[in-house]
Structure 1
């Protein structure tokens, strides 16, 4: 009996092989968010459980629990809904809503009082965290960033001034990575700080106030100033794109930009009163 060898289009028994062609992800031109849905999932650094990251109406990121929860089981202050890829801090009138992950995270203490159903979800997440720790696939880390030691070459989270505002970065300037998608559907590996583009200037500027924030004592802080650069260059930094992906409405994004609006009261640990030692290509000013 002669065996029936499998061909490229058929299984070993001769049945047709159905191949699924990959469908490219695209972002609609009318979408308020340029972030692809594939880039909005991650893992919580405190508990290791899955989170869905969305932009809020103020363009700041928020981590939501990936599953919907019955609205009647969620306190009013914890109800969120999605519209056009943007998270809104209230319910939309339906029987289901989304809830911030921080409310259910086993690594944090919930501020609102949870009901029986949400406490059960929190216990399940805690059990999953314990399994990840026992198998060695997850090591919990704290979200609080300590300031670098004295004499460090640069702040671990520098303050950058651009587009008439100040923003706190999530990593050193040299490590800020482009968030755009490449043609291979991967995140771009190029840094935002490019040697061929105009560089910013380290300056000692007053710590506040900014845009109606509370006034602080006259304190000079180290700021990486981009305000003297042309608007397209400042916009490139704000959107966290490398020069190759700086074209407006070009490639979609696979991650959220890591900027936070700098608040001198909330981010006191990241205020440095001395100019850092800077690498080549960075200028200093006073």
Structure 2
């Protein structure tokens, strides 16, 4: 005979025998932010070191160093703290603070404001060098690989897209923008926003307009991936950075911050392209879609 477990919730030593039930992480549908805080870990594209994404009070994302540092070693103007999931550019009065990754990133020029953080910056630079030596990170200034036949050439690495009457700067090419939704396996969806059955936008040359109601510059034009002709729901899907499958499943949470950044021609002038991307033609395939001006 097999002995059956005792139905009593107490063990022989007086402790409770019932195990704690495992609960899955859920999101309140009425939550203002559907972002899972456990999924904010990422890697810097310039140096390969780990970072954490947070939103500021103005809903702009910021990259923070994943560890706290003693506040005495950090200038007061460089201190950050996180409160209720929101990053604030100031100290919280404690002996510890957070740092913006831009102060420590080895892939950027060293700022003169924090020379006392040079030791931490050198340790990150050493890790970056190890990643480059191991082939896990491309060295700075490395030439891009030659495009394959049928692939787009002269495509901007960070294109400017226009949707919902607003111009955004993407962090990667249009056909590489990844869905930010969480899958059933609790990982990030690997599908692209521009799926095989998705509606495509068109490249167009438009005048470069200055922000805050300033006059447009008719003599200067820029290449923009326009999605304005798509239906309203389709433009919402693009701004939420979701694939076709997860756009129809609003209960799924987000595991990353959307890569869109409001485009400012003054701050992002190095990403302005004055010519349309050219596309190769696959043998036997249809002609490439012409951009509308």
Shorter-chain TM-score range = 0.7 to 0.9
> Structure 1 residue 28: deviation in Å?
4.3
Partner of 2:119: 120
Q: Is contact 1:200–1:282 with CA below 8 Å preserved after alignment?
A: no
Alpha-carbon distance in structure 2 between the residues aligned to 1:137 and 1:121: 23
Alpha-carbon distance in structure 2 between the residues aligned to 1:265 and 1:38: 34
Once the two structures are superposed, the pairs formed by residues 235-250 of structure 1 within 5 Å of their partners are: 235-247=236-248, 249-250=250-251
Partner of 1:64: 64
Change in Cα spacing, 1:101 to 1:140, as seen in structure 2 (3 Å) is farther
- SS of the counterpart of 1:161? strand
| TM score, norm. by length of structure 1 | 0.76
Partner of 2:277: 276
Q: Number of residues paired by the alignment?
A: 264
- SS of the counterpart of 1:207? strand
Q: Is contact 1:163–1:234 with CA below 8 Å preserved after alignment?
A: yes
Structure 1, unmatched stretches of 5+, are 1-18
Alpha-carbon distance in structure 1 between the residues aligned to 2:23 and 2:143: 40
Q: Is contact 1:204–1:274 with CA below 8 Å preserved after alignment?
A: yes
Alpha-carbon distance in structure 2 between the residues aligned to 1:29 and 1:142: 43
| TM score, norm. by length of structure 2 | 0.74
> Structure 1 residue 103: deviation in Å?
1.2
Provide Cα deviations, 1:54-84, integer angstroms capped at 9, x if missing partner. 2233333322111112333322221112133
Partner of 1:47: 47
Alpha-carbon distance in structure 2 between the residues aligned to 1:167 and 1:145: 26
Provide Cα deviations, 1:76-96, integer angstroms capped at 9, x if missing partner. 221112133222222233332
